[in-house]
Structure 1
Amino acid sequence: MALSEARLGELAARLAEVPGVAAVLLGGSRARGTHAPDSDTDLGVYYHRPLDVAALGELARTFGGPAARVTPVGEWGPWVDGGGWLTVDGAAVDWIYRDVDRVARAWADAEQGRYAFHAQAGHPLGVPDFAYAGEVALGVVLADPAGELAALRARMRVYPPALREALVAGLWEADFLVGVARKAVPRGDATYLAGCLFRLAGVCAHALHGAAGRWLINEKGAIAAAAALPGAPPRFRQRMEAVFTAVDSDPVHLTAALDAAADLVLETADACAMMAR
């Protein structure tokens, strides 16, 4: 059961009253209109330090019951830095903290074509810092008393040309990964090779999204999303998945997997070049 629109609006308005909270953003499948009745409702809680976590916890218990809990800032890690998993009116509602100042810095870097993937629990590829901008661009502002998030969103709606160029240029890493993974073949080191391939797949997916000027903010569904882009390599998803099914301890199979991955990297580069025309 999904949270009702009325209850969602009430919750966002109450969140915006917590000291330190600057805005509330609806994200995930509900913001995109692709949610199912059992989908979680993802709420970005955009804050300035200091965030009144005690007041936030009281509000969580008001809506989610006496067992509801929110974390201190930083408990979940450096990039997904806290929040709470609540059940409100029988529906799953996730609060995810976002530091507004850090979001603005990430956007400034993206405008200049600077980006990095950052270690974060639950994100094996790493969190791309430009995902902060993508979340705002793709989300729905529910509460924003000072208009701060809306002002950022107006700028983030246009995909930065410098970021597009940087992500496509980042394909060098995918080619490099094929080379280093080949060293694991004689040893039958399928685990290391699979890790290289996962990273390679992510780099290709981000390059394709960058070339298309589309935000990619999560590893989940990244390959399917890349495959759906106009101009993506033919059967991109099926071929990338076939690469992983070939990974076992047999050097012949590992070599075949890397050869197929290398072909996909080359085709991704060609596809990106065509998209940029």
Structure 2
Amino acid sequence: MAAVCPERIFRLVQDGDLLGLRALGLNDDVTTTLRMLRRARSGDTLVHVAARKGHLHLMRYLLEELNLDLEVPNREYKRPLHEAASMSHRQCVRSLLERGAQVDSLKSALHGHLDVVDILLQRCGYRPDERDSCGVTPFMDALKHGHVEVARLLMDRHKPDKRAADALGAQALHQAAMTGQDHSIRFLITELGVDVNSRATSMNFTALHYAAKEGHTKTILTLRGLGADLQATDAKGRTARLMASAGGHAACAQALDQTCMQNHTSTSDFTTHGLPPELLHQSSPS
């Protein structure tokens, strides 16, 4: 590889310069070296780079003419298919699948690119409640990251258990509350009929407990609007208000205090969410 700089090869692939790559006049010795070429820090192969950038014709050249391996993982254990899917390069995904790329359906749900997930689900022999090492299903993962349309697709196609729990006993609702995904919470409760006050783990946490523990003020308001029991206690007798206070989340604690007071005071000085306006900027992502 003395005559050709590895960094130049990676730059050509990153730029999608197929003509430039061909112009190097790669012989058998150089081609053999290219098959083993990896970026030191990321562990990416040339196929990873082409797939991530969506350079379909160049990726096909690497696979079909240079015979590079499409299943080599990088240092994050991602294969070229994961890179193409995460960037929503639909044609690259199709090409890799046609060449026999193996599909990990659990990772596909995380990406949130609906059209790509649809392709992957058609090819992967998906089991509705397939779990990872932590007991998390694709349905849970999608909602935990706010990908409601992906979760809806999974539900429509495969009918996963909407109340399935992970290894710790937390359901999709609790995971969504933990990450402040209000849209996911509304989907579970209003469309799928999940109980807003359902309990998780041996500690008997509700979604409200999780939202308070993580400091998600807007999620607390969302759960309240969906009928959450503000006085529910966990296995140690703690309310969500106590969890918020213990975690140092003053805005959450105040939101819960204000909510409890609303039956006894005028709401004229409150926003439509039931909070003083100055508290809303401290709220969690929806």
TM-score range, shorter chain: under 0.3
- Higher relative contact order, chain-length normalized (CA < 8 Å, sep 6+): 1
Q: TM-score of the superposition, structure 2-length normalised?
A: 0.24
Select the structure of larger CA radius of gyration.
2
Query: Which protein is richer in strand relative to its size?
Result: 1
